Amino acid sequence: MKNLRYCLLLLGAVLALNLSAQDKADETLNKAIRKHGLEQSQAMDIAGWLTDVHGPRLTGSPQLDRATEWVVATLKSWGMENVHTEEWGPFGRGWELKRFHLDCDAPVPFPVIAYPKAWSPSTKGRITGEVVYLEAGTEEELAPYKGRLKGKFILLDTIRDVTPEFDAQARRYNAEDLLKMANAPMPTPFGFRNWGSGQRFSTRLWEFLYDEQPAAVIDRNFKGELGTVFATGARARKGAARDKDAEVLPQLTMSAEHYNRIFRLVRKGITVKLGMEMTVEYSNPSGMSRNIIAEIPGTDLKDEVVIFGAHIDSWHCGTGATDNAAGSTAMMEAARILLETIKETGVRPRRTLRLALWTGEEQGLLGSRAYVRDHFADLDSMGSVVRYKPAQEKVSAYYNLDNGTGKIRGIYLQGNPAVQSIFRAWLDPFKDLEANTITLSNTGGTDHQSFDRVGIPGFQFIQDPVAYSTRTHHSNMDNLDHLIEDDLKQAATIIASFVMHTAQRKDMLPRKPREEETPARAPSGGR
């Protein structure tokens, strides 16, 4: 037994040495990548076009169409090849806010900080109405409000305590945070939440509201203060608000401080009246959306592909800077860095490099899922693989960036330990840029999951949180001012290196076993 154990350890050491020899970082490539990424960056210029000029970029909207046209033209001007868009859908109608104003008419006039939820309809000019707090948690408690809500402004939420923030809302990961990630065990599959009766009441509540036809339904955020508003999409009577001809009530999210003030007045028995004017434009009659694709062709292994991407769509309150012009900027900049590196070194990628910018991510990874379905696997209605397509075997990896402006601190392995030693060799040259952590952990909520679920190695980089969750994610503060230039430069540089080294490997990256190939677990019990 001791001899066998020794042989296994020796074999593991030999394999590790072979892997490290194959995956040693190319110093010449990295030197050129650093030069073009850190010293000659165009990241903030790219980000400015995506945000100040072409933001926000709600899927289906004219602004997203204009952003798409700019990206396509820019990539072509850099020398990217096979630059095109791929249509997917149907997604539904687009929506663009043209004008919005909300103010308090009585008892004390003041302008109110609030944002409409996407796909809310226009009003017929300026409308006014009384505020009603709908205090109900059961169907029985809804009954007294029947026939009393038409034309009223409905408050859905209770008051929220707003306490002074004595600690900074922005932060970077410290050594303890990163060590905890590095030591994380093999992840378990995601489960599903059972909402039970709470979800049933929510459905009944909205049926009741649509029957009553109030002027608007108003909520406030569970987080955020000092005028920060987090707003996403409206809720339709049936289906999705983006569906053609869907019935949608005007829905607003109000800043916590203004919501609290109005709530307190109503609780005192004082009549509060609001005035609102909203003009919106529905667009995208075809109902289809488009992903953006561009390539740097490979050489001897050109039929194999390394994909790197991010979602370009956003919500509508800000200009979609940290979510996700940051990721789109980093990926476009990585492509530019690679083009310049190829020119400088004469080293062309063995595998084809494919840049992809997705749409419909905010509504459920729709663009990347459509791309995966079109190219790599047939999926059933639940998203499970029915059949793999031949192209699935030709993708070495997919790399994604979508966690704000923060610098890269490492990478999530997404439960794939076979790539750990490879990524260690590629990360080590960037210790000076504070990117050194590898974790087995999964991370969710973005487009790498579309690839991971069909057996393609899909990865999201670890990023410093900065103020993403606390201040900018889906908020009216998600603007260019909150992007950190040095972080974007660092991220684009590391991504470019990872993409190029993946392209140059003798073998494609190792994969996790397919579900049908996963070995059965040993029975539980004592030894």
Is pLDDT at 307 greater than 70 in this prediction?
Answer: yes
What's the average model confidence in pLDDT over 78-90? Answer: 98
Mean model confidence pLDDT for the chain: 92
Angle between helices 27-34 and 326-345 (to 10 degrees): 120
pTM given for the model: 0.91
Distance of CA 209 to the CA centre of its chain: 31
Which of the pair, 17 or 275, is modelled with greater confidence? 275
Beta strands in 373-493 (DSSP E): 377-379, 385-388, 395-400, 408-412, 437-439, 458-463
**3-class SS of residue 220:** strand
What's the average model confidence in pLDDT over 19-33? Answer: 86
Is pLDDT at 6 greater than 80 in this prediction?
Answer: no
Angle at 38 between CA 36 and CA 41, to 5 degrees: 65
Would you state the pLDDT for residue 165? Answer: 82
Helix (H) or strand (E) holding 424: helix 420-427
What is the greatest pairwise CA distance in the chain? 87
Q: Which two tokens stand for residue 322?
A: 């940290």
Q: How far apart are CA 5 and CA 11, in angstroms?
A: 10
The tokens 């095109």 sit on which residue? 84
Q: How far apart are CA 98 and CA 284, in angstroms?
A: 16
Q: Which domains does the chain have, with CATH numbers?
A: 25-92+286-511 (3.40.630.10), 95-161+192-283 (3.50.30.30)
Cβ pair 288, 89 in contact under 8 A: yes
Would you state the pLDDT for residue 159? Answer: 92
Q: How far apart are CA 122 and CA 134, in angstroms?
A: 23
Would you state the pLDDT for residue 335? Answer: 98
Q: Which of 250, 226, 289 minimizes the C-alpha distance to 477?
A: 226
Contact residues for 169 (Cβ-Cβ < 8 A; gap 6+): 467, 470, 471
Would you state the pLDDT for residue 323? Answer: 97
Q: Which residues pair with 104 in a beta bridge?
A: 110, 274
What's the average model confidence in pLDDT over 36-51? Answer: 98
224 confidence band (pLDDT: 50, 70, 90): confident
Is pLDDT at 516 greater than 70 in this prediction?
Answer: no
pLDDT digits (tens, 9 = 90+) for 451-469: 999 999 999 999 999 999 9
Would you state the pLDDT for residue 48? Answer: 98
Would you state the pLDDT for residue 408? Answer: 98
Cβ pair 410, 500 in contact under 8 A: no
**3-class SS of residue 303:** strand
Which of the pair, 330 or 523, is modelled with greater confidence? 330
Is pLDDT at 371 greater than 50 in this prediction?
Answer: yes
**Count of alpha carbons within 13 angstroms of residue 148, beta-carbon side:** 10
Q: Which residues pair with 357 in a beta bridge?
A: 292, 310
Share of the chain above pLDDT 70, in %: 91
pLDDT digits (tens, 9 = 90+) for 408-452: 999 999 999 999 999 999 999 999 999 999 999 999 889 999 999
Is pLDDT at 190 greater than 60 in this prediction?
Answer: no
Q: Which of 301, 327, 308 minimizes the C-alpha distance to 488?
A: 327
What's the average model confidence in pLDDT over 275-299? Answer: 98
383 confidence band (pLDDT: 50, 70, 90): confident
State which amino acid sits at residue 193: R
206 confidence band (pLDDT: 50, 70, 90): very high
CB atoms within 10 A of CB 111: 10
Would you state the pLDDT for residue 444? Answer: 85
Q: Which of 376, 374, 358 minimizes the C-alpha distance to 366?
A: 358
Cβ pair 435, 427 in contact under 8 A: yes
Q: How far apart are CA 184 and CA 176, in angstroms?
A: 12
For residue 365, what is the DSSP state? S
306 confidence band (pLDDT: 50, 70, 90): very high
What's the average model confidence in pLDDT over 202-212? Answer: 96
Would you state the pLDDT for residue 18? Answer: 53
